[in-house]
Amino acid sequence: MSLANGRHYLAIPGPSVMPDRVLQAMHRPAPNIYTGQLVDMTATIVADLKQVARTRHGVAIYIANGHGAWEAALCNTLSRGDKVLILGTGRFCQGWGELARGLGIVTEIIDFGFRAKVDLDRVAEALRADTGHQIKAVLAVQVDTASSVRNDIPGLRRVLDETGHPALLFSDNIACLAVDEFHMDDWGVDVMVAGCQKGLMVPPGMAFVYFNDKADAARETADCVTPYWDWRPRANPALYYQHFCGTAPTHHLYGLREALDMILHEEGLEAVWHRHKVLAGAVWAAFDAWGQGSEIALNIADPSARSHAVTTVRIGGDAGTRLRHWLEHEAGITLGIPLGAPEEEANSIFRIGHMGHVNAHMVLGVLGAIQAGMIALGIPHGPGGLDVAAGVIARG
């Protein structure tokens, strides 16, 4: 008999769990889009979006998903024939590169594989080799949601500075904004892209492109920019509708206002980062214990290179697919499918999203259900995983 009835937990890395408060804030009649509450509230949202990224620079809001932010970032800074350096650590930077090529931008790719972070020495080598400064931007993901790696973004800034290379530094924080620590200005990031549906806990439909003055200067000559994707009127609108180049995403703005209140004004951004760090640590501890004497392993071996937003697990054979199905049908939990993994390993891999509106009992619940699934399916695993996870939670 299935034990799946009850509240379902969609433990995939986006869209993430949406707080009831966010959904309720969206459940309202259409607001006036010319004057009044919505217009006033949007100004507070822009200010808080900057706070959540730790920047004082510009931010443009798009009615789009993450792919829209990717394209907006590219077309506001680059021209056809320009070259960008793509740092592959899973799936997502490569996806950004595919959009770039579609725009007529030339991509040079360094692929660090599915299980490692960006090697800064190899980036330095590529930048030094580019004596003519053909590379106009270095594209990186802070967290690759496929591999669950977390890259060293301030390290990339250091490499650009040390090699004296003038390329812009782009960071994709779609998975990890308001999850993993990030300081746009202090870390010297020129362009950052984010979406609302992961750490920000809002239904998919809004994306954000942050840019500093250096990136905005590149906008002067970028020939890929088009009126709709132009970040300038969006970031500095003379009239309210220019924020969105048309009708505002009215209900999403109410949802986002609520989510930013929860993150910045109630829990606090540093506490949010800490919560995700501890919850991720509980997940890692469980799998480290289950991996003793078995095939189970975290995809990223180095804890300092793991995201706090998502964990990619390798469990051996076809056990990943079997376990996902068991959890879905017997325990009311949907885990993330493998993405970007080599074909022959795909059935071994699954991902756990633990970003956004997630707390201790939810993570312990997922881990407990995973252990139940491993027992039910006869998947070999070491002892004590739940005990060590509970210990991590207990220490806070």
Minimum distance of ligand PLP from residue 93's CB (angstroms): 8
Nearest distance, CB of residue 276 and ligand PLP, angstroms: 15
Query: Quick count: other Cβ atoms within 10 Å of Cβ 344?
Result: 7
Q: Is 90 left (phi over 0), alpha (psi -120 to 50) or beta?
A: left
Rounded least distance, CB 209 to ligand PLP, Å:
13
Nearer Cβ to ligand PLP, position 145 or 348? 145
In the numeric block, the tokens 């972070």 are attached to 117
Round the CA-based radius of gyration of the chain to a whole number and report it.
Answer: 21
In the complex, minimum distance from the CB of residue 332 to ligand PLP, in angstroms, rounded to a whole number: 24
Q: What is the number of the residue whose Cβ is closest to ligand PLP?
A: 66
Nearer to ligand PLP, 94 or 347 (CB): 94
The rounded distance, in Å, linking the Cα atoms of 141 and 96 is: 9
- d(CA 387, CA 60) in angstroms, rounded, equals 45
In angstroms, what CA-CA distances link 336 with 43, 44, 152, 324? 35, 34, 24, 8
**Minimum CB–partner distance for residue 395 and ligand PLP (Å):** 29
For ligand PLP, which is the closer residue by CB, 14 or 316?
14
Which of 69/319 has CB closer to ligand PLP? 69
Nearer to ligand PLP (CB atom), residue 102 or residue 383: 102
Q: What proportions of the chain, in percent to the nearest 5, are helix, strand and coil?
A: 45, 15, 40
With 0-12 / 13-18 / 19 or more C-beta atoms within 10 angstroms meaning exposed / middle / buried, residue 55 is buried
Residue 313's H or E segment, with its range, is strand 310-314
Interacting residue ranges for ligand PLP, rule: CB under 6 A: 14, 65-67, 92, 141, 143, 145, 172, 174-175, 195, 204
**Cβ nearer to ligand PLP, comparing 155 with 204:** 204
- CB nearer to ligand PLP: pick between 141 and 393: 141
CB-nearer residue toward ligand PLP: 92 or 244: 92
Chain centroid offset of residue 383 CA = 32
- What's the token pair of residue 346? 């795909």
| CB 174, min distance to ligand PLP, A | 4
Question: Do β-strands 333-335 and 9-11 pair in parallel, antiparallel, or remain unpaired?
Answer: parallel
Half-sphere exposure of 265 (CA within 13 A, CB side): 11
Q: Which is nearer to ligand PLP, 148 or 319 (CB)?
A: 148
**Does a cis peptide bond (omega within 30 degrees of 0) precede residue 15?**
yes
The 3-state DSSP class for residue 107 equals: strand
- How far is it, in rounded angstroms, from Cα 225 to Cα 388? 52
Rounded to the nearest whole angstrom, what is the least distance from the CB of residue 172 to ligand PLP in the complex? 5
Least distance from C-beta 64 to ligand PLP, angstroms?
8
Of the chain, the end-to-end C-alpha distance in Å amounts to: 36
What does DSSP assign to residue 8?
-
CB 16 within 8 A of CB 195: no
- Residue 290 CB, shortest distance to ligand PLP, in Å, is 26
